[in-house]
Every structure is written in C-alpha cells, then in structure tokens.
Amino acid sequence: MEDSFPFQLYQKAKKYGIWNPQHINFSQDQEDWKTLSVKEKNWMLRLLAQFQGGEEAVTLDLLPLLRVVAEEGRLEEEMFLTTFLCDEAKHTEFFRLVLNAIGEKGDLSHLHSNSYRKIFYDILPETMERLWHEQTPEAIADAATVYNMFVEGVLAETGYKSFYDGLKTIGKMPGLIEGIDHLKKDESRHIAYGTFLLQRLICEHPHLFDRVVKKLEELAPLSISLNAEGVIGDGEKLKQYKSEIRKYSEKQLMVRIEILARAKGQKIEEIYRSTGAN
C-alpha cells in the first residue's frame, strides 16, 4: 500500500535517516571535555551513561514487535521497522563513539538511577519479551505504549531536549550536539509509527484506549523523576528549569493521549491514509 502512512514513514527514513556516526568529528569534543568543570562532567557523563544504555536497550527490545508485525503480514510496517531497528543501532554506536572520544570505556551502570533501572531493566524488557509468547491486541498495545509512547515519546523526547538545551548553554561538544540533532529527527519518525500503531489498534479494538491511558498514567511519575535528574544548573534557575521539564513531560503525555483519542471515531482506512499520526 504505497499511499499508507507506514510506507510514507519508510520513504522518509530512506531520505532523512541516512547519517553515519562514524562521519561525525569528535576531535573538538575531546578538547572541550578537558575544559569542563567537574560538575559539568558529572552531569554529562550521567546522561551519556543513561542514553547509551537506553539506546542499547531499545535496540535489543524492538525485535519481538518486528516479528509480530511480520507474522501478521503487515509488509509496509515491517519495511519501516527495519529502518527503525537500524536507527536504534546507529544511536547505540553514536553514544559509544562519544564515550570513546572522552576516554570513558568502562562500566557506567552505577550511574543508572533507581527510576532508570525500573524502566530499562524491568518494565521495557518484560513488556517487549511478552510478545514472544503472546500476540494479543492487549500485549501489542502495552508494547507500543511502553516503547513508543513512553520511552520514546516522553522519556527520550524530553530527555534529549534537556540534554540539547544544556549543551547549547555550555557552548561546547559540537560532535555530541550534531549527533543528538540527528537522533531527535529519527525519534520523530519512531514516535509517529508508534502513534499510528496504537491508533490502528484502538480503531480495531476501542476498549484498548482506556488501557493505554491507564498505562501512561502509571508510568508518568517515573518520567517526571527521571527527566528531572537530567537538568543542570544551580539554585532558582535549576528549580525553574526542572519545573519547565516537568510541564514539558506532562504536555507530551497529554498530547499523545489526545491524538490517540481521535482513533475511536475513525475508520481503519482513515488511519492508514493519515499523514498526521504524530
């Protein structure tokens, strides 16, 4: 179905997703790292450890969903998901290259907070691995909610924003900034697909909408807690920015829910032909 939304995303991935982490120059980042304060280094290293681990996790955990989509014969979705998986692999490689450039090659898991571990060590893998033995609409909806709507649509989108803003304020690490700019564009396609997938599921099984909303509400406190950890600053400025990040996270949740609510009144043909799923 060449006019379907998943196929359009596949075309966008081919056009806009062709970047190579190996082509990013980190020589200035190496020099900048030496000039950062201890506080700036600790902030940056904590976030790098979390994003490295997070991107590795979503690379490992996506395969069960790809298998389900393939077994259902949804060719256009499978075609897009192959680019999705490639994107996540590149993101994992990118953060590895950043860490290599600043001389950090050891185990950084001690920088993973309790909120982070709950999401990436427990909730995400358990939800995705369930798809290996259960391919019900409920199981697929849970996977899309946790992976696409929450981890990517709320955590990553908000996290990359705070990281990007912080780096811009510091005015250093151009290679890291360049890569994050690519990542943000890739994630927008991933979130768009997840929104489409949940819209399709809700259109076919309307009772799933309440399930998705409940799941997002359960996860929201973890999002707010984790994203607040990624803010750099002091005193009143830090407090203000944490408040802004909290509001941004809450807004992302509400926007996702509002978009998904529309699917209850649509026909499946409208979902497939939509160009505004995100």
Identify whether 13 is part of a domain: no
Identify whether 46 is part of a domain: yes
Q: Which of 123, 107, 131, 11 is nearest to 52 (CA)?
A: 107
Q: Averaged over 25-54, what is the pLDDT? A: 94
Identify whether 171 is part of a domain: yes
Report CA dihedral (245, 123, 146, 71) to the nearest 10 degrees. Answer: 160
Identify whether 166 is part of a domain: yes
Asked if residue 52 lies in contact with residue 125, where contact means CB atoms within 8 angstroms, the answer is: no
- How many independent structural domains does the chain possess? 1
Query: How far does the chain reach from its first CA to its final CA, in angstroms?
Result: 20
Percent share of the chain, pLDDT over 70:
91
Identify whether 18 is part of a domain: no
The answer for residues whose C-beta is within 8 angstroms of residue 180's C-beta and 6 or more apart is: 160, 163, 164, 167
Q: How many residues does the chain have?
A: 278
Identify whether 182 is part of a domain: yes
Structure confidence at residue 277 as a pLDDT band (50, 70, 90): very low
Q: What per-residue confidence (pLDDT) applies to 137?
A: 96
Identify whether 54 is part of a domain: yes
Q: Which of 200, 158, 148, 10 is nearest to 86 (CA)?
A: 10
pTM for this entry: 0.88
Identify whether 146 is part of a domain: yes
Q: Which domain holds residue 264?
A: 27-273
Percent share of the chain, pLDDT over 90:
65
Residue 130: burial class (beta carbons within 10 Å; 0-12, 13-18, 19+): middle
Q: What per-residue confidence (pLDDT) applies to 245?
A: 65
pLDDT tens digits, 104-117:
999 999 999 888 99
CATH code for position 125: 1.10.620.20
Structure confidence at residue 201 as a pLDDT band (50, 70, 90): very high
